Chains A and B, each alone.
Chain A
Amino acid sequence: MKPTNVSSKDLVAVAKGGVLDRRSFILSGLAFSSSLAVSNVAASDSVGASKINQSIPTWMKTPGGSDTEYGAPSKYENHIKRNVAEHTPETSIFSIWHTPIENQRGIITPNGLHFSVNHNGIPDIDPQKHKLMIHGLVDKPLTFDMESLLRYPMVSAINFLECAGNTAPNAVSVTPLDQTCQGLFGQVSGAEWSGVPLKYILQEAGLKPTAKWVIVEGADGGSHSRSIPVSKLLDDAIIALYQNGERLRPSQGYPMRLFVPGWEGNANVKWLHRLEVTDKPAFTKDESGLYSDILDDGKIQRFSFHMDVKSVITHPSGKQVLPEKKGFYEISGLAWSGYGKIKQVEVSADGGRTWALAQLEQPVLSKSLTRFHIPWQWKGDSAMLLSRATDELGRVQPTRGQWREKYASYSFNHYNAIQAWYISSDGVVENSYV
């Protein structure tokens, strides 16, 4: 993160620790850029037969290269990539690929960087031979091939997707692990998902009155399977065929996946091929074990589908070093809730003693990543940066202590506590608990 070249002497402090008022930042920024434009015009005073100074960069003096059929990021950005979660087994049995979320701006994660969790590797599915089946408590058991599904009316929505186990190290580690934002928060991403509303398929098959659940299954080697309530499928679930305008990538479920906005990643069954309509859940592998929560009293909580309200400051974040030891920085981060829209995000630079409202960047969408910003004048002392999100239902992020009280010490799913980044007087950012 680079310091912005803006004078901040006129900004108004709205909380302690150097958190500033966003509106006054925008006004002073405008004034600064117009004075810069005037001085540039005054500097162009040379005349004569000379040519353009040859010390300009090579790329301004040579013809450019050709474009490619499918574009790729700049070679100078090839260090921005996903990484496999530490301690993940070496085999494809269970692999977790984290998105470099601290390098993302806006609310859309590029397709190649979207996080991915695979329990049985990525199948190579021929779309010409792939079919979607629906059966069970329906009037007409049906099958759909790709050609017919692609003809259905489609909808698109920008939504976040988060693994139930995102930020698990902070849920269970007694001491805060010194990890990057990618390592701690890299199992959440944002994308525009397009596809066929499930309700069209359910209505076409005709649900019987006793239909309450659908056992949703993938066509991967492990036949990943989850029990999903019919009410969610009739609400806003889609058979996702496109992600950010192109057909799904194999690691996101090509040729089709279930997308249930706001619900834990594991329920968004990839490589979708079968819908079995039932009156009760099947207690599949993941709803029997790994994707349940163990409460403080020893109870095993199942079917906790929603990803709760959560936020993280991405700029600056874990293991980064602020390039100048004091001065102006813009704090920026992401907030999201599986229940609806983000209503507000508060930021603290003094460990939660005082808070200021961050500006929410448009668009603010339901069950979507929401970008927030707040200007910050760092005085060079150690600081503790926190963000606290509230959604439109009034759900507020708990402190880590409040979250921990609810769960057994080793329960790690659905962690959504307030994240703290400690900034030393040397500008080193470190994961921290408050």
Chain B
Amino acid sequence: MSSHRLYRCFVKNTLSSLLLVVALSQAATYADAADFSTDLGETLSASELSDYEITIFPNGKNLPEGKGSVIQGEKLYKGRCMMCHGEEGDEGPAARLKGSDGWISFSDPLRILRINKYPVLLISVGSLWPYATSIFDYTRRAMPHYAPKSLNDDEVYALTAYILYLNDLLEKDVVLDEKRILNIQMPGKNRSISAWPEFK
């Protein structure tokens, strides 16, 4: 039984520590227990995982087959997204989808007033996000806010295409699919640096 193994392991570690150094605190015993082994996890089957393995990676890993056009995306956007992102993807209350990454925008002198009402508008998906795959990932897992995970893969491709179109990253007659999405060059990519020393 796995539970008995864990318990025996626990007792053995604790007893040997007590014998060696009586004054050691429990916390110190745990911290030193690098040889501690546990086995209470159950095997995760591929079928159990498949419903939940939704993360899309920049290299295309986990991208489903499918396709959607800018035109289809525009239609979907007006019905399901516009009430939170505005007509052009740059109004509130939700995050800004297109435009510059700051609140000082030459094309919108009233930006600073809008920011006062909706502060999350001050950075945009189009300017900061380094990979189009992340737009697909987040739209599929979290959007629309009132019904997350309700869009099918073709609808998510279409909405991703429309967001890219709003940012002048796709022409209006384009159909986006699992191959084409990997060719999109996002402006945020070349500006990116990593503060984490193990990843550059």
Contact = CB atoms under 8 A, between A and B. Distances in A.
Interface size class of A (residues with CB under 8 A): 35 or more
A26 interface: no
Interface string A299-317: 1111111000000000000
A225 interface: yes
17 contacts: A87-B119, A94-B93, A94-B120, A135-B44, A143-B42, A143-B44, A151-B3, A201-B41, A221-B149, A225-B55, A280-B199, A282-B56, A282-B57, A282-B134, A288-B130, A299-B191, A410-B104
A205 B125 CA distance: 36
Interface of B: 3, 6, 10, 27, 30-31, 33, 36-44, 48-49, 52-59, 84, 92-95, 101-104, 116-120, 122-125, 128-131, 133-134, 137-138, 141-142, 145, 148-149, 188, 191-196, 198-199
Given A284-B134, A299-B191, A153 B30 contact: yes
Contacts of A217: 55
A374 interface: no
A134 interface: yes
A229 interface: yes
A380 to B, nearest CB: 37
Contact of A410 (B55, B122, B199): B122
Contact of A284 (B10, B36, B125, B137): B137
A347 interface: no
Given A215-B55, A300-B192, A203 B37 contact: yes
Given A87-B118, A89-B94, A223-B141, 14 more contacts: A89-B118, A89-B120, A151-B3, A204-B38, A221-B148, A222-B141, A222-B142, A222-B145, A283-B133, A284-B55, A288-B129, A302-B193, A305-B196, A410-B103
Contact of B199 (A152, A215, A303): A303
A276 interface: yes
Interface of A: 87-91, 93-94, 120, 133-135, 140-145, 148-149, 151-153, 155-156, 197, 200-201, 203-205, 212-213, 215, 217, 221-223, 225, 229, 231, 273-274, 276, 278, 280-285, 288-290, 292-295, 298-305, 408-410
Contacts of A151: 3, 6, 40
Contact of A301 (B122, B142, B193): B193
Given A283-B130, A285-B134, A285-B137, A142 B44 contact: yes
Contacts, number: 196
B129 A289 contact: yes
A152 B40 contact: yes
B133 to A, nearest CB: 8
A302 B194 contact: yes
A134 B38 CA distance: 15
B41 A282 contact: no
Contact of A87 (B58, B116, B137, B145): B116
B101 A294 contact: yes
A91 to B, nearest CB: 6
B198 A231 contact: yes
A87 B196 CA distance: 32
Contacts of B39: 204
B94 A222 contact: no
Contacts of B10: 153
